[in-house]
Chains A and B, each alone.
Chain A
Amino acid sequence: MIKQDLNILEEKSIFILREAKAKFENVAALWSMGKDSTTMLALARKAFLGKIPFPVIHIDNSIDFPETYKFRQDLARKWKLNLIVAESEIKPDLIGAACCGKNKPETLKKVLDEHGFDALIVSIRRDEHGIRAKERYMSPRDKDFKWNYKDQPAELWDDYSSKMGTSGHIRVHPLLDWNEIDIWNYVRRERIPVNPLYFSRNGYRYRSLGCTHCTVPLRSSAKSIDAIIKELETTKEEERSGRSMDKEREMVMQKLRSLGYM
């Protein structure tokens, strides 16, 4: 895994976050309590002098790990987050990719309608998945949340598009250039709190976090951030190999993202 200069990454992410806050009237950030979105919140605190000036949304499908709920509770209090918890209803007959493709985007749509957000900060990274590599820093979605990845604005010389179709919104991706090891190096450098599920217990740890029923732990003995970084330097396993929905069908992630999944 290629290590990048954290100062350059940080500077660019802070620039994008400030740009988003300045360009859009009503911005919100999505927080899944994972390492990436928590890092994004830490960057936002840095960008706006210690206080995150926009609401933070958790799309809660009500079957997250108890540790994740505890982490949410503790960090929201510590960082004084303006947290919006949007609970999605369980839909029978849906599971895996179908569940993510319907439940989460539907709940998100309701929140967007209710609060009128015109931009959403999402903490995806290009190295996570092939389809995420096609994203822009500021990427338009139409009113049905559809993403046309074949027709996106060019982003040359730090000129980001803030145009959108009627009643659509813009997804802002400040962590697009980061990779997994950069995130962990930054977490270590900035002492950012992370979900305890990332650390090994009884020989297993979670490398990517989702809901209880579609996330499996991977074999690992990494009990500290240093050990995780060391493990990542040598591993050949994919980051999302513990996420069942990624394995269901070919191109499933591409389909999910075009339907509005994060």
Chain B
Amino acid sequence: MDAKRKKVDEASDALNKEPSENNWKRFSAALGKSGIRYYRMAWANEGKLNKMQDLTKSAAELYDQRYKMIAKVPIFVRNGKRIRGATKYLVGLQVLNKV
């Protein structure tokens, strides 16, 4: 568990530093057996986005099956000047509706 957790931690750190395509792929691979099961979107402004630029300030919180937060990652990919969403890299997780 620790080794897997360490892998996730390293990958999420790299992602927070630089949300590039490669770092996302690395994180996505680490996600597989990490025990992370749920995600919740944490928008920059309370509630929802006010403009798309806020996407770069928002994050996805990732939880295990006991609703313990394991990692917090950005939800965009930066490719030079281009920015796009990154939710496709979280495939396999379920939205956390728990209030």
Interface residues, chain A, CB within 8 Å of chain B? 61-67, 69-70, 73, 87, 89-95, 99, 196-197, 201-204, 212-214, 217, 244
Q: Is B95 an interface residue (CB 8 A)?
A: yes
Q: In the bound complex, what is the Cα–Cα distance between A93 and B88 (angstroms)?
A: 22
Contact A87 B51 (CB under 8 A): no
| B interface SS class | mixed
Q: Is B76 an interface residue (CB 8 A)?
A: yes
**Closest residue on chain A to residue B76 by CB atoms:** A90
Q: How many residues of B contact A (CB 8 A)?
A: 30
Contacts of B50 in A (CB 8 A): 95
Contact B87 A94 (CB under 8 A): no
Which residue from A95, A197, A202, A212 sits with its C-beta under 8 Å from B98?
A202
Contact A69 B88 (CB under 8 A): yes
Contact A213 B43 (CB under 8 A): yes
Which residue from A64, A69, A95, A204 sits with its C-beta under 8 Å from B52?
A95
1/0 per residue, CB under 8 A from A, across B14-32: the answer is 0000000000000000000
What's the least CB distance linking B68 to chain A, in Å? 16
Interface centre among A70, A212, A217 (most CB of B within 10 A): A212
Contact B52 A93 (CB under 8 A): yes
Contact A93 B84 (CB under 8 A): no
List 13 interface pairs A-B (beta carbons < 8 Å), by A numbering. Answer: A63-B75, A65-B95, A69-B91, A87-B84, A90-B76, A92-B53, A95-B52, A99-B52, A202-B96, A202-B98, A212-B85, A213-B49, A217-B97
